[in-house]
Each structure stands twice: as structure tokens, then as C-alpha cells.
Amino acid sequence: GKNMMMMEYENDIIIIDAGLMFPEEEMLGIDLVIPDISYLLEKQEKIRGIVITHGHEDHIGALPYLLPQLNVPVYSTKLTNGLISVKLKERKALSGAKLKVVPPGGQVTLGKFKVEFFPVCHSIPDAAGLIIYTPVGTIVHSGDFKLDYTPVSGKPTDLSRLAQLGAQGILLLLSDSTYATQPGYTPSERVVGETLDHIMADAPGRVIVTTFSSLISRIQQVIDSAAKHQRRVFIVGRSMTDTTRMALELGYLNAPGGILARIDELK
């Protein structure tokens, strides 16, 4: 958790991600842990922007607490921007926020840095890795990724773009290494959908599914399985409701007519 990185060259600073972390067991009385930005506050005039790789809590969760202090532009893909907007609105921090959408493959120039977003596959749509062009060389930041060739939504990781960069030569690779020490392969997210299918087919009554509101692909899998087995879906909780509505409006969730129901219809 608490993913946040900064790069500095001469008079320019860029920030990559701004996540939170949930407290350890011994952190009594603490609800959330956010990055220490004391250095950034001292160098605020150098900060050209915050670049976000994807919309999970450990990458965007600190933004409502940091943006009121830093007040710099935030660059992200379309869905990630939507999730950030929901998050900031919840914390009454949306007003005045400078949110910018960058399409996959798009570039943005931030001082001496030029940042290119390239598609990566993750458990959330619109995830991106970053190609950061600097005066001293090219840095590739993978973001969180998995090599899933049958993703629930979105596209597989753009390995051809990485191959091009490898041929050109890079200065530094910053790679996700989650579970890299464990042997074997990570199964496709579609395995979860198959499991949900079995559960919804066999369960005699209601099926209760818990998940983070930012796991858009998981919400889609629940909707798909429910539709297949003639069940209705009740979205519970403000964050889940707001995120689902946003994802439907932006076209990142697809729900057959009548499958989504209000909680007051639940009997």
C-alpha cells in the first residue's frame, strides 16, 4: 500500500501515484496511513503534476488528503479519472482539483519530463504503465500488471511496446514484483467469473459478494453471472453505488436492463 514516488531533475518534479495504506494491527487508533509529503511541500514550486497509473486505493487513496496541500494537476486515464473524481467528491475535495485525462498511448510534457501512458493488464480497466523520457535517459515504470491474455475488460499488457523500448535501450526499469518469489503462474481473472457462475447456480438463496468499489472488473463479473442465472444485483454502500454509477455512465460497466435494483426493493 501507500504507493507514491517522485522524480526530480533540476527545477522539475513529477509525482507518480498517491496511495494510502490500511494500518497494521499494532497501529491502534489509526484509520489510514498516507505518504509523508514534507519534502514535496518544501519544493512545491517545482512540482509539475501527479501521474496516476490506475484507480486502486493504494494508488489514489491519498489524493483527497494531499491535493488540498499541493494543488497540482493530476493526469490519468479516463476510468482512473472517474474513480479519482468519486474519491475526491466523497471527501469534499473535488472543487478546484485539476484533473486531466490522458488516453492510452497518449503523452504529456511536464517540465523536463515527457510521460507516455501505455496499456497494461491489471484487475481494473484502464491501468497504465509509464514511459518517462528524461534528459538523461528513458525510464519505464510498469505500474501494477499481470500477463493475462483473456482479461475480463480492457486489453492485455502491450508487450510489443515494451519490446520496442528494449530495442531502443532504456536507463531504468521500475517493475511490479508482487508475488515474484512464488513459483507458478497467476490464473486469468476469468477464473473468478467461472467460480461465481458455480456459486450462483447452486446457491438456494441470496449470494453476498464483498469487494472494493474500485474493482470494476469484479463488479462486471457479478453482473454477468447474475444475468446468466436470472438474479438481480443490489449495490450496497455509498462508495460502491457512486463508483458503479460512474462506471456505467463512462461505459466501463455493462448491465442488462432491469438487473440492477435499488436496495429498498430488497425483500
**Could you report the per-residue pLDDT of 82-119, keeping only the tens digit for each?**
999 999 999 999 999 999 999 999 999 999 999 999 99
Q: 69, 63, 67: which is closest to 83 by C-alpha?
A: 63
Contact 246, 213 (CB under 8 A): no
pLDDT band at 139 (very low <50, low <70, confident <90, very high): very high
Question: What is the per-residue pLDDT for 213?
Answer: 87
Check whether 239 has a pLDDT greater than 80: yes
Check whether 243 has a pLDDT greater than 90: yes
pLDDT band at 212 (very low <50, low <70, confident <90, very high): confident
What is the rounded CA–CA span in Å between residue 225 and residue 235? 15
With the C-alpha atoms ordered 234, 153, 213, 104, is the resulting torsion angle positive or negative?
negative
Check whether 1 has a pLDDT greater than 80: no
**Third-level CATH fold of 5-174:** Metallo-beta-lactamase; Chain A (3.60.15)
Check whether 266 has a pLDDT greater than 80: no
Q: Name the residue ranges covered by the structural domains of the chain.
A: 5-174, 190-265
* Helix/strand/coil for 32: coil
Look-up of cell digits 483527497:
64
Task: Calculate what percentage of the chain has a pLDDT beyond 90.
Answer: 72
Question: What is the per-residue pLDDT for 157?
Answer: 86
Check whether 179 has a pLDDT greater than 90: no
Give, as one character, the DSSP assignment of residue 103.
Answer: -
Q: Which amino acid is at 174?
A: L
DSSP-H helix ranges across 104-262: 159-168, 190-202, 216-228, 238-250
**Third-level CATH fold of 190-265:** Rossmann fold (3.40.50)
Strand-strand pairing, 233-234 and 172-174: unpaired
pLDDT band at 264 (very low <50, low <70, confident <90, very high): confident
- When mean pLDDT is compared across 45-59, 84-98, 184-198, 213-227, the lowest value belongs to 184-198
Other CB atoms within a 10 A radius of the CB of residue 200 amount to 19
Quote the crossing angle between the two packed helices 78-90 and 238-250, to the nearest 10°: 150
What is the rounded CA–CA span in Å between residue 252 and residue 32? 28
Check whether 135 has a pLDDT greater than 90: yes
What is the rounded CA–CA span in Å between residue 142 and residue 128? 8
Check whether 267 has a pLDDT greater than 80: no
